[in-house]
Chain A
């Protein structure tokens, strides 16, 4: 065996390598870099599906419902034109494949395979089959990170569609969220549909979010409701990104 150096000097190159590694990792972290996400997106490209909207919507029932929505939207547009309201702008949505989930159990995130090059900006709203999914937090060239509404740090201003009562939806790291209402006598019952609120600053108005599963009316200072998300957050394969 070669003569080993005294004390820590024999580890000097290892220690300096580790210090260098910590410095580089710290730079990556503080720079909010999408480097690892980009590499993951590049390497997983052969396994990503290509998006065909026709295939996505081939289900006859979906097509029927879409036709009904189109009809209702046309009626609304006509009524709005009668009231001389300005027509709502319809942003062009970007379809994106879900290529990965969160790299840690404490965060509820998606990695999607579209980024800045395809026109995605931080803060863009993400929808999936069924309803709201979350919003874009970090953007790389060809990949983006989406914070799901089920994340514990996520807060969404919501409204009960039937009674127009407003509240705040917080994620619980599961398939359900918790809505805290602002008023004492909130008119909510199980089965109500919850949509994004018109006063939300992060999300456009009226995107379906979930269905009320149970209400705790005895909660102080205001009642709380458990909401099941409409979008199957754990099974998503494609999402639609609305430009912010």
Chain B
């Protein structure tokens, strides 16, 4: 049993560490990771990697939590409850969990990259909708949406294997070791 506990602890540490790294990568503009000054949405890659094959409410909850964290990083004090990233990330987490990847999609980088692409577009569209309802200039918001959604989606999906590969390796290692312990 202590073996299982140790594996769980290591697994949680690995996942948590990756999440922390993703949060800290958000304001960084590493060479080669920018288009038009926009950076990949690392948080969303982590969320998609975590949400695949998880219960939907858990994925939504984690998405909301990550959204609030990103809010605390970005929003100036004069901003209200909206616009919030919790909405976009919550919906993306829920939708990803709903995909039930093992049934419909092959487990490879291409399909994950495609899911990430779609989720970035959904996330940015929800951001643009929030800004529209807050009464910002329609033309500006939606022309910015076009630019942001496309460049972020391309960047994020291209960079997703960098994060997704170690995370799946970690997850496979965890389930393999827990399974081995349970067998013996």
Given contacts A11-B55, A18-B58, A101-B39, are A111 and B69 in contact (CB under 8 A)? Answer: no
**Other-chain residue from A21, A103, A122, A173 in contact with B73 (beta carbon distance below 8 A):** A103
A40–B68 contact, CB under 8 A? Answer: no
Residues of B close to A2: CB separation below 8 A: 182
> Looking across the interface, which residue of chain A has its beta carbon closest to that of B131?
A106
Give Cα distance in the complex from A138 to B77, angstroms: 7
> Which A residues are within 8 Å of any B CB, using their own CB?
1-2, 11, 14-15, 18-19, 21-22, 25-26, 28-29, 31-33, 35-37, 39-40, 43-44, 99-107, 109, 111, 122, 137-138, 145, 147, 152-153, 172-173, 234
* B65 contacts chain A at the CB level, 8 A cutoff: yes
Most chain-B CB neighbours within 10 Å: which of A33, A99, A107? A107
* B61 contacts chain A at the CB level, 8 A cutoff: yes
Give Cα distance in the complex from A206 to B90, angstroms: 45
A40–B61 contact, CB under 8 A? Answer: no
Residues of B close to A43: CB separation below 8 A: 24
A145–B76 contact, CB under 8 A? Answer: yes
* B165 contacts chain A at the CB level, 8 A cutoff: no
A109–B140 contact, CB under 8 A? Answer: no
Give Cα distance in the complex from A99 to B69, angstroms: 19
A18–B76 contact, CB under 8 A? Answer: no
**Other-chain residue from A22, A44, A107 in contact with B74 (beta carbon distance below 8 A):** A107
B74–A25 contact, CB under 8 A? Answer: no
- Interface flags, B54-75, vs A, CB<8A=1, else 0: 0101100110111111111111
Pair count A-B, CB < 8 A: 117
* B148 contacts chain A at the CB level, 8 A cutoff: yes
Most chain-A CB neighbours within 10 Å: which of B28, B67, B152? B28
B28–A104 contact, CB under 8 A? Answer: no
Give Cα distance in the complex from A104 to B70, angstroms: 8
B29–A103 contact, CB under 8 A? Answer: no
A1 nearest CB across to chain B (Å): 6
B26–A105 contact, CB under 8 A? Answer: no
**Other-chain residue from B61, B70, B74 in contact with A15 (beta carbon distance below 8 A):** B61
B58–A11 contact, CB under 8 A? Answer: yes
User: Which B80-118 residues sit within 8 Å CB-CB of chain A?
Assistant: 83-85
Residues of A close to B26: CB separation below 8 A: 103-104
Given contacts A105-B152, A106-B83, are A100 and B27 in contact (CB under 8 A)? Answer: yes
Residues of A close to B158: CB separation below 8 A: none
> Which B residues are within 8 Å of any A CB, using their own CB?
23-24, 26-29, 37-39, 41, 55, 57-58, 61-62, 64-78, 83-85, 124, 127, 131, 136-137, 140-141, 144, 147-148, 151-152, 182
B131–A36 contact, CB under 8 A? Answer: no
Residues of B close to A138: CB separation below 8 A: 76-77
Show 21 A/B contacts (Cβ-Cβ < 8 Å), sorted by A.
A15-B57, A18-B65, A25-B66, A25-B67, A28-B68, A29-B68, A29-B75, A32-B75, A36-B69, A101-B27, A101-B28, A102-B74, A104-B73, A105-B38, A106-B144, A107-B74, A152-B131, A152-B140, A152-B141, A153-B136, A234-B37
Known A-B contacts: A36-B24, A173-B144. Give 12 more (CB < 8 A): A11-B55, A18-B62, A22-B61, A29-B71, A32-B72, A37-B27, A100-B28, A103-B73, A104-B70, A137-B77, A138-B76, A152-B140
B69–A101 contact, CB under 8 A? Answer: no
Residues of A close to B41: CB separation below 8 A: 105
A36–B23 contact, CB under 8 A? Answer: yes
B83 nearest CB across to chain A (Å): 7
Give Cα distance in the complex from A31 to B69, angstroms: 12
Residues of B close to A31: CB separation below 8 A: 72
B68–A26 contact, CB under 8 A? Answer: yes
Residues of A close to B85: CB separation below 8 A: 104
A105–B148 contact, CB under 8 A? Answer: yes
> Looking across the interface, which residue of chain A has its beta carbon closest to that of B39?
A101
Residues of B close to A101: CB separation below 8 A: 27-29, 37, 39
